[in-house]
Chains A and B, each alone.
Chain A
Amino acid sequence: MNLVLLVFSYLKARLLNTLLNILLLSLGIAVITVLLLFSNQLKEKISDNTKGIDLVVGAKGSPLQLILCNIFHIDFPTGNIKLNEAERLAKHRLVKSAIPLALGDSYQNFRIVGTNTAYADLYQAELASGVWWVSDLEVVVGAAAAEILKLKVGDTFESAHGLSKEGHAHAENPFVVRGVLKKLNSVIDNLILTNVSSIWKVHEEHDSINVEKVFSDTSILVPTIAAGDSTKEITSLLIKYRNPIAAIQLPRYINTQTNMQAASPAFEAARLFSILGVGVQALNGFAYVLIFISALSIFIALYNSLKERKYDLAIMRSMGASRTKLVVATQLEGITLTLFGSLIGMALGHGVLYLFTAFVAESQKTGISATIFYKEELFLFGGSLLLGIICSLIPSFQAYRTDIHKVLAGN
C-alpha cells in the first residue's frame, strides 16, 4: 500500500467523474496546443519564406496581395510590370540583387513560376534528381508538387492558364521535367520552376515564329532577350537591398516615381499576422474558459469527495497518518487529474494536427508538422500541475483540519 495506490483507488472508485474532469481539461489543453503549434509554425514559415527578400515590386494594387502572391504563392498577381522598367530598377544603386518572377500558369493547382536559379538559391534548394533547366519549356519540380503530381525526370505535362485545374490549357507547348528538388519545408516545395521565357513562349500567339537571336547587350533579368525590350512583361521583382539606407529610400522612390508598387514582406506579414491574431486570441480565450471550468469541476469533485471521506480521513489519522500525509494525498489527487488532463490534452492536440495534415491536402501545402514540440508545452505542462495544486488547496485544508474525535464520536 502507498499513497499513489490509495489516490488511484479513490479516482477509480468514481471513474465517470474522474474521466469527465480529465476530458474537460484535456480539451482545453488540446485547443491551446493546436493553436501553439499552428501559430508558431506559421510565424516560422513566414519568416523562412521571406528570408533574403527585402522588397517585392509589382503592379499597383494591394500590397498584401502582392506579398501573398509573389512570396507565399496563395493569391493572384496584381498585374504585370514592364520588363524594361524592372530592368532599370534592377540596376538601381540601392539594389543588391533582383530576381524576376513571371506567374500566371499552373498545372493541377501547382503554380508554375518563371524565374532564374537565383530564386532557388534564395531557399537553398538542391536537386534530388535530374538537372536544372537549360532551355525553354524545361522545368524543375518542388518536392511536394512532384510527390502529389507523381512527376519524375523526363515526364511531360501541359500547363493551364490561371491557378485552377479548369483553366485554359496550353496544349501546344508541353513542359518537360528536367529535375526534382529536395524537400525543404518551404513554399518552393509546392512550385514548378522554369525560366521566364518559357512563360512567355506558352502565351505567345500560335503563329509567332521564335527565332534564336544573338544580342550584343542582353537583359540582366532574362539573359535570352535584349536589354530594354519594351514588349515583354513580368509579374514582379524580388529585391535585396544593398544597404540599410535602401529600406528608407527605395520603397518611396518606387511608389512615387514609377508605375510599380513596392511592398515589404516583413511588414505585410506582420500585418497579416495581426489580422489572424484576433482569431487565435479568441480561440485561446475559449480554451482558457474550458480550462477554468475544468479547474472548477476538479475543485468541486475533490471538495465533495473529501466531505464524503471524512470518516476515511479520521480513521486514517487514528491509524497513525499525520496531517501532512493526508494533505499530500489530497494534493496528489488533484495533481493526478491535471497531470493526465494535460498529457492527454497535448497528445490530443498533436494528434488532431497530425490527422489534419495527413488528410487535408491544403494543409500539406503549408508544410505544418504535428511532430514538432515547443518549449511552451513544458510551461503548459508545469502550469497544469500548478492548477492541480491550486484546485486541491481548499480540499487539502479540509483534510488537514479533520478532527478525529468529533468525526468518530459523531456516529
Chain B
Amino acid sequence: MNCQLASDSVLYANGLYRVVYNVAGSFLPCWLAYLIAGLVIIFILVNAVLLGAAVITWGERRVLGRFQNRVGPNRWGPFGMFQPIADLLKLLTKEDLRPQGSDRIVFALVPILMVAPLILLTAVIPFAKNAALASLNVGVLYILAVSSVSSVAIFMAGWSSNNRYAMFGAARAVAVLISYEVPVVLSLLGVVMVAASMSLGSIVEAQALPFILVMPMAFLVFLAGMSAELNRSPFDVAEAESEIIAGYHTEYSGVRFALIQAAEFGGVGVVAAIAAVLFLGGWSGPWSEYLGWLWFLLKTGVVVFLFIWFRATYPRLRIDQIMAFSWKFLLPLSMINLAAVTLEVFFLRGDDGSLTTADLGIMAAINIVVTVVSVIVFGNLIRDRVTLRTRQPQQVAVPGVPTIEVS
C-alpha cells in the first residue's frame, strides 16, 4: 500500500503516469498500481493517436478539397466529420486478403509495426506544462530512434507482399528515408545545442523566442525532411499511384490497410506535434498555465496545415531530384545551420553556459540573414540550367526549285 512515485524520479517525473500511479497506489498494492497506471496510459495514447489520425484524415480531405475548389467529404455528420468512421466501417467489412507466396508472418506484422512507433512517439510529447506522459531526459534521441522503425516496417511490407510494385515502393521509401534522416538529425542538433537539453519539456522552456525564429533554416530542413520521411507529397515516390499502384501497401486490404492509413495520417499529426514542440514553442503562450494544451493544439494544427498546403501545391519529384534535394541542398543547409548555431552559442553564452532572450534575438537576426543567403546560393547551385536551342531546318537543294538566299 501507499506506493508513491517521487516527483524527481528520472523516468516518469512530472508525467501523467505519476499522477495515475500515485492515486492508484494510495489504496492498492504497488504492482497493481503499476499495472493500472500503465494500462491507463496505453489506453489514452492509442486512442489519442487513432482519433488524431481520424481527425487529420477528415481535415486533410476537407482542406485539400477547398484547395482544389471542391467541397470535400460533407455527407455524414456535421461538415462530413464522421467520414473517417464510415471509411473505417467499410474497411472492416472487407475481406482480409493475402497474396499467394507472401511471407505471412511478416505481412501480418507490418500494420502493427507501423502504428506502434507513433503511439510510442506520443509518450514523450508534452501536451501542456508537465503533461508529458513520460518526460524522458533523452526525448529527442528517443524520437529519432523510434521514428526510424517505420522504415523497417515499410521495407517489410514491400518484401513480404510478393509484389514487384510493393518492392519498388519499399526500396524507394527506404532510399528516401535514409537520405533525409541525415539533414533532419543535423537540424535537430542545433535545437538541442541552444536548449542545452534533450528533454522536450526543457526545450519548450528554453524557447523564450520560438526556435523557428532563432534558426529558421533548421525548421525548413526539418519540415522538408519530415514530409519526405512521411512519404508525403511532393516526396511521395514510395506510393506514387501513377507509377507503382500504391507502392508498399499495394497488397493490403481491410483492417490492415486501415491501420496503415491510420499510421500515415497519424504520423502527420505526431510529426506536426514534434515540430510544434521543437520549433514553435509547444505549450508556451499567454496563460500557458491553463491554456497550454490549446496553444499546443493550435501550433500542431498550423504545422498540419503546412503539410496539407505543400501537398496541394507541389507536384511529385523524380527520385533523382529527391536525392539531389537532400544531399545537395538540405544537407549543406543543415550543416551551415549547425556551424552558425555552434559559433553563436560559443560566443554568446554566459559563464554558466546559458543563453538569455537577448542572445536568442541576436542569433535570430544573424540566422535569418544566413538562411536567406544560403537558400539563394545553394538553390542556384542545384537548379537545372535549361538552355533552349532552336534548330534551324536544313537547307536542301531541290531540283527545279530556286533556293532563296536569306541574308
Q: Do A and B actually bind?
A: no
